Amino acid sequence: MKAYYPPGAFAGAFVLSAFLLVWVEPVTADEISDMERDAIALEHYLQDKSDHEEYCPSLSWTQPSLEVYKEKLTSQLPEECKG
């Protein structure tokens, strides 16, 4: 037996889906959760540590604390090491 769907049965779902796609706004650094901020900061922290050891170990650099990474959410490597 074939399923019967009345005309326009999926129109509501389509309109709702399109509305939700349009409704999503980009997230700024101020709007992310603490867990997301911590994860991004830790990712930059660990990547900087790895990149310093791999690409510029002879460059004297003291890695900032994780708190600095949480505040800035960017790499803290000096420009000379970002080759």
Task: Assign 64 a pLDDT band (cuts: 50, 70, 90).
Answer: very high
Task: Write out pLDDT tens, residues 18-48.
Answer: 544 455 455 555 678 999 999 999 999 999 9
pTM greater than 0.75 (yes/no): no
pLDDT class of 82 with cuts at 50, 70, 90:
confident
Tokens of 10: 């999926």
The pair of structure tokens assigned to 70 is: 């949480």
Per-residue tokens: 80: 């000379």
Residue whose token pair is 């002879």: 58
pLDDT > 90? residue 4: no
Structure tokens at 77: 């490597």
State what percent of residues in the chain have pLDDT above 70: 63
